Amino acid sequence: MTQTAARQVTRAWGLLVLLTLLSLGAGGSGWTGLAANGLILAAAFAKGRWMLMDFLKLRGVPAGWRALFLCWLALVTVIPWATAALPLLRG
Amino acid sequence: MDPATAANAAQEDRPWGALSDLPGHPMMWVLILTEVVTFGLLFLTFAVTKAVHSDLFAAGQAQLDPVLGGINTLVLITSGWLAALAVEVRSTGQRGAARLQLGGAMALGLVFIVIKVAEYAAKAQAGIGLETDTFFTLYFLLTGFHLLHVVLGIVILAAVALSDSIENLKTGTAFWHMVDLVWVVMYPLVYLIG
């Protein structure tokens, strides 16, 4: 096993666990609204990015592939934030 | 070499074109791309319907257990970590260690299924089902479709643990990481954001 690759995978796992606990804490604390939603979905984007780069090994593939998957990830995290914001903005 | 011959030679080297740049078998990436588009559309459907029926969705979400969803996220993330380590270990020729890590990844996949089924059972006991309301129709559709992928992912991991070339491991674990990635987005969307 290349120590560097294994360390990178384990570091990504640690960050994923940390962000999941952060999301769970934010969601369970009763803190709601645009900022809470934004924080939780930003954590989901960051987690997805680490999975793509370190678990799915997209770090070493041509940039176009990374851009494609990151655009998908951005769409599925930003659009839910925007649609959740509509009823909140309406009051 | 004339341009036509060079182009033919390049095509023979890369029969799958740009897909050949991705780790594992390109056919798996065709499946992964299809799945992320499908789940993406389901997520957008859920998000837009939630904006239209915000009170109904808030009431439905209040009946879900975010802690169970969070535990399942930790379970899948850890499973994905073991699967990724298995590829690294196998690349140095340690077949036994790689199989052990794949076994751990599959075992955690089973834990995910058990927790999800327990969650469904609790809903059924409370009289909640697929036809209760729009929120729960989409909840069962999204999480149930994902659960089927978890089951398929465990079967694929078992298959590549038996036929354990590095290429097979990269292919099988790529599917597993896709299943993991989809859940990481689905969890906040369905359980957390208000």
pLDDT above 90 coverage of chain B, percent: 87
- Residue B33 within a domain: yes
Q: What is the pLDDT of residue B10?
A: 60
| CB < 8 Å to A17, chain B | 74, 77-78
Of A34, A75, A83, A88, which to mutate for an interface test with B (greatest number of B Cβ within 10 Å)? A83
- What's the rounded mean pLDDT across residues B16-40? 94
- Coil, strand, or helix at residue B11? helix
- What's the rounded mean pLDDT across residues B106-112? 98
**Is it the case that residue B8 has pLDDT exceeding 90?**
no
**Is it the case that residue A1 has pLDDT exceeding 60?**
no
Q: What is the pLDDT of residue A4?
A: 84
Can you read off the two tokens belonging to residue B36?
A: 């992320």
- Residue B8 within a domain: no
- Residue B52 within a domain: yes
| CB < 8 Å to B84, chain A | 9, 54-55
What one-character-per-residue DSSP string does B117-146 give? HHHHHHHHHTT--TTS-HHHHHHHHHHHHH
Q: How many domains does chain B have?
A: 1
pLDDT digits (tens, 9 = 90+) for A8-39: 999 999 999 999 999 888 877 777 788 889 99
Report the alpha-carbon distance of residue B26 to residue B21 in Å, rounded: 8
pLDDT above 70 coverage of chain B, percent: 94
Q: What is the CATH number of the domain that holds B105?
A: 1.20.120.80
Q: What is the pLDDT of residue B3?
A: 66
Q: What is the pLDDT of residue B128?
A: 96
pLDDT digits (tens, 9 = 90+) for B78-90: 999 999 999 999 9
CB contact under 8 A, B51 and A86: yes
| CB < 8 Å to A11, chain B | none
Return the higher-pLDDT residue of B12 and B135.
Answer: B135
| CB < 8 Å to A5, chain B | 88
CB contact under 8 A, B181 and A52: yes
- What's the rounded mean pLDDT across residues B110-120? 98
Q: What is the pLDDT of residue B11?
A: 62
**Is it the case that residue B67 has pLDDT exceeding 70?**
yes
- Residue B89 within a domain: yes
Q: How far is CA B130 from CA B42, B123, B124, B127, in A?
A: 16, 10, 10, 10
Residue type, B145: F
Q: What is the pLDDT of residue B17?
A: 86
CB contact under 8 A, A20 and B77: yes
Nearest CA in chain A to B42: A76
Q: What is the pLDDT of residue B150?
A: 98
| CB < 8 Å to A81, chain B | 193
Residue type, B94: Q
Can you read off the two tokens belonging to residue B154?
A: 């465990």
8 A C-beta contact, residue A20 and residue B74 = yes
Which among B114, B84, B115 is positioned nearest to B102, based on CA atoms?
Answer: B84
In the DSSP assignment, the letter for residue A59 is G
| CB < 8 Å to A36, chain B | 193-194
**Is it the case that residue B1 has pLDDT exceeding 90?**
no
Host domain of residue B64: 25-192
- Residue B74 within a domain: yes
CB contact under 8 A, B51 and A83: yes
Q: What is the pLDDT of residue A16?
A: 95
**Is it the case that residue B9 has pLDDT exceeding 70?**
no
pLDDT digits (tens, 9 = 90+) for A68-81: 999 999 999 999 99
Name the pLDDT band for B6 (thresholds 50, 70, 90). Answer: low
Of B49, B182, B184, B189, which to mutate for an interface test with A (greatest number of A Cβ within 10 Å)? B184
Domain extents in chain A = 3-90
Name the pLDDT band for B16 (thresholds 50, 70, 90). Answer: confident
Report the alpha-carbon distance of residue B54 to residue A38 in Å, rounded: 17
Query: CA A55, B190, A77: angle at the middle one, nearest 5?
Result: 55
Q: What is the pLDDT of residue B29?
A: 96
Residue type, B153: G
CB pairs under 8 A between A and B: 143
* Summary mean pLDDT of chain B: 93
Q: What is the pLDDT of residue B12?
A: 67
ipTM of the complex: 0.92
Query: Which chain A residues in 44-83 lie under 8 Å from chain B, judged by CB atoms?
Result: 44, 47-48, 51-52, 54-58, 61-62, 64-65, 69, 72-73, 75-77, 79-81, 83
